[in-house]
């Protein structure tokens, strides 16, 4: 199992375990254990199976003759790319979806079903509904005391373990966050036994029935959008700014014929992703991994220029990612109801712009783009009014 976590709204799709809230973890009394012995213990983590239906909120992707429930990172491309569980009982006619190149997919789907860890299947037991029509209890990662070096060492151990049910790991608030397909508390207990309490926090992609969602009223299909009329035409005229002066880029470079700078990377070996082409990339100048003819780096930092028309970045200077202090993303909120929020997202995604990387938000539609110099934000404000859409620029 290997997951390269860059950050962003795509990670917000993961849901907490049926009892993952609790007191802030205590500070570790000593340096946390790492290395082969820890990796061997992580490889023996339990793989619990729920004894009742659980809830998944994710993307559904057509694969071969069936459907895939995406879990973990989803590469924002058209169609998306992801890894996950075989989804049984899915009916494409029952949910609004998008199709490109003969491949269908649906984003923001909430489905109740049964999970079989050994078979790696999720069998739908209830009717699918829009994720925008439900409210899930928030997940709060408890405050820890690990420094960046300790978190990176622990991440290397987690990423070295070849387990399909472990989706990835990252650091947040001084805590090692481990993402798994499902935990009933036994995975958290096992990890606490390895590292000691207060080091790691387990997040489960499947939510148990102990924390049911609240259905938002009115139903999605009865709500009116923010505006009507020429919205589609006006959205099509949104600017696509280029960065002619160097801007900061943090991501993974992957080469499957053409080097690409990736924002989100799908869990697989080799990984999969979509992103702008990297012009003039020199593999001999960086450390990388290779499998099946595909090369990729861990997260790298560099100054680049961005050509929006060519959807390509050109590196200007490589930077030391570990030496960078990344500013915290400010919290934004708004007053949109769930139906309006979903309607605006659907309109934006219908544009199929390659520079739109992801979307989400709470009461406000947060859109992540490759680059914005302020003109995309101004365009959305003109179309929908201030406070409806908030644009985050990846580069810059």
CA 360/CA 373 separation, integer angstroms:
21
* Token pair for 362: 């709470």
CA 85/CA 113 separation, integer angstroms:
12
pLDDT score at 242: 95
**CB contact at 8 A, 220 and 132:** yes
pLDDT score at 345: 83
CA 261 to chain centre: 16
pLDDT in 10s for each residue of the chain, 396 residues: 333 333 333 333 333 334 444 444 544 445 788 889 999 999 899 899 898 899 888 888 888 778 989 887 776 666 777 888 999 998 888 888 887 777 888 887 888 999 999 999 999 998 888 776 666 677 788 888 888 888 888 888 888 888 888 888 888 888 999 989 999 889 999 999 998 888 889 999 888 754 445 444 433 332 334 443 457 778 888 999 999 999 999 999 999 889 999 887 766 667 777 789 999 999 998 999 988 888 999 889 999 999 999 999 999 999 998 888 877 777 788 888 877 888 888 888 877 888 888 888 888 999 999 999 999 999 998 888 888 899 999 998
CA 307/CA 335 separation, integer angstroms:
35
pLDDT score at 18: 40
How is 150-204 classified by DSSP, letter by letter? HHHHHHHHHHTS--TTEEEEEEETTEEEEEES--SSHHHHHHHHHH-TTSEEEEE
CB-based contacts of 347, cutoff 8 Å, min separation 6: 225, 231, 232, 235
pLDDT score at 390: 93
């Amino acid at each position: 199992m290997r997951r390269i976590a860059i950050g962003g709204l795509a990670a917000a799709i993961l849901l907490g375990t049926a009892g993952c809230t609790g007191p802030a973890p205590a500070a570790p009394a000593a340096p946390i254990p790492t290395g082969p012995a820890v990796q061997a213990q992580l490889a023996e983590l339990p793989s619990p199976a729920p004894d009742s239906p659980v809830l998944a909120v994710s993307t559904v992707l057509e694969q071969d003759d069936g459907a895939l429930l995406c879990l973990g990172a989803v590469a924002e491309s058209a169609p998306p790319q992801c890894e996950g569980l075989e989804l049984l009982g899915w009916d494409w006619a029952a949910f609004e979806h998008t199709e490109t190149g003969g491949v269908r997919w649906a984003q923001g789907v909430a489905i109740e079903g049964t999970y079989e860890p050994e078979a790696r299947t999720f069998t739908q037991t209830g009717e699918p509904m829009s994720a925008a029509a439900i409210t899930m209890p928030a997940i709060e990662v408890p405050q820890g005391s690990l420094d960046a070096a300790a978190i990176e060492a622990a991440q290397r151990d987690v990423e070295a373990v070849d387990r399909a049910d472990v989706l990835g790991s990252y650091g947040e608030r001084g805590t090692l966050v481990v993402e798994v397909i499902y935990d009933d508390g036994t995975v958290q207990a096992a990890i606490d036994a390895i590292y000691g309490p207060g080091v790691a926090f387990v997040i489960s992609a499947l939510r148990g029935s102990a924390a049911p969602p609240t259905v938002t009223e009115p139903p999605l299909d009865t709500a009116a959008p923010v505006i009507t009329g020429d919205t589609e035409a006006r959205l099509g005229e949104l600017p696509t700014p280029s960065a002619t002066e160097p801007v900061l880029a943090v991501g993974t470079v992957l080469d499957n014929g053409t080097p690409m700078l990736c924002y989100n990377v799908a869990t697989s070996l080799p990984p999969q992703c979509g992103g702008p082409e990297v012009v003039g990339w020199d593999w001999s100048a960086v450390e990388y991994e290779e499998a099946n003819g595909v090369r990729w780096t861990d997260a790298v930092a560099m100054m680049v220029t961005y050509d929006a028309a060519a959807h390509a970045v050109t590196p200007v200077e490589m930077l030391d990612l570990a030496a960078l202090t990344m500013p915290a993303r400010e919290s934004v909120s708004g007053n949109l109801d769930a139906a309006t929020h979903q309607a605006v997202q659907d309109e934006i995604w219908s544009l199929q712009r390659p520079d739109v990387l992801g979307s989400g938000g709470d009461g406000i539609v947060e859109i992540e783009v490759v680059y914005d110099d302020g003109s995309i934000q101004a365009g959305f404000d003109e179309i929908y009014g201030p406070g409806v859409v908030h644009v985050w620029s990846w580069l810059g």
